[in-house]
Amino acid sequence: MRFMKWRFCETDGLKDSVCQNCKDENGAMPTHNAARQADSQCLKIIAGIAPESVSVKSESGFTPAHFAAHKGYAECLRIIADVAPELLKVTDDGGFTPAHFAASEGHTDCLKIIAKLFPELLKVTDDGGFTPAHFAAHVGYMDSLKFIAGVAPGSLTARSKYGLTPADLAARQGDAKCLRIIAEVAPELLSEIAQNGDSPIK
C-alpha cells in the first residue's frame, strides 16, 4: 500500500516531497522494503523514478544494499549496484558493509556481485576489525570463505581488534572444512592454533 501511494504521488509530480514522507518508523524507504522482500520489479521501478532514494540510509544506517545482501537477494543487489554502485561501500552504524552481511549468511552470489565492482571490499574491516572472511569462517559458510580466499587471500590472515583471525573463529566452531581452506592460504595460522591445542584437524 505504501509503495502504491508513492507511485500515485509521483504521477502527480510530488516525487520530492513523497520521498521524504514515505519513510516508515525506522527511517526505511520503499527501496529498503523492496530490497528486504526480494521485490526486484518494484525496486527497479522505484530506482528508475527516483534513483536518489536508493541511497537513503535507515535510522540504523542500513541502505537497500545491506538488506539485499543480508537476505541473499542477488537480483535486487544487482539492480542497486547498477544504479548506485558506491552503495556497496557504505557502512552501517557498526561498520558493516553489504559484503559483511553477505558473508555472515553465506550468500556467495552477492559476494560475487560486490567483488566484481570492488574486490577490495572483501578485506574491509568493521568497527571490531572483522573482515567478511571472519564472518564466513565463524558461521561455517565454506563456499563463501573459499570465494573470499580466491579474491582477497590477505583477509584470511587479518586479525580483529581482539587478536582473532578467521582461523581462530573456525577452530572455535570445530569447523575442519573451513580451516582447510584457510590452510591453503596461510598454513602458519593452523600451526599457531595447533600449538594452543585448538585445531580440530587431525
* CATH class of the domain defined by 1-90: mainly alpha
- What's the first-to-final CA gap in the chain, in angstroms? 57
Mean pLDDT on 99-127: 98
- Does the domain made of 91-202 have the CATH classification 1.25.40.20? yes
Predicted confidence (pLDDT) per residue in 133-188, tens digit? 999 999 999 999 999 999 999 999 999 999 999 999 999 999 999 999 999 988 88
**Apex CA 94: angle with CA 68 and CA 66, to 5°?**
5
pTM of the predicted protein model? 0.80
Same fold for the pair 1-90 and 91-202: yes
Compute the C-alpha angle 89/92/96, nearest 5°.
70
Biggest CA pair distance of the chain = 69
Q: Which residues contact 47 (CB under 8 A, 6 or more apart)?
A: 31, 53, 54, 79, 80, 83
Closest listed residue to residue 79, CA positions, set 58, 52, 111, 48? 48
The predicted-structure confidence for 49-65, as pLDDT tens digits, reads as follows 777 778 878 777 899 99
Domain ranges, ordered by start, for the chain: 1-90, 91-202
| All residues at 6 or more sequence positions from 74 whose CB lies less than 8 Å from its CB, including other chains | 68, 107, 109, 110, 113
Q: What is the pLDDT of residues 114-144, one digit of tens each?
A: 999 999 999 999 999 999 999 999 999 999 9
Residues 125-153 as b/e (b if ≥16 CB within 10 A, e otherwise) read: bbeeebbbbbbbbbbbbbebbbbbbebbb
Element holding 98 (H helix, E strand): helix 98-104
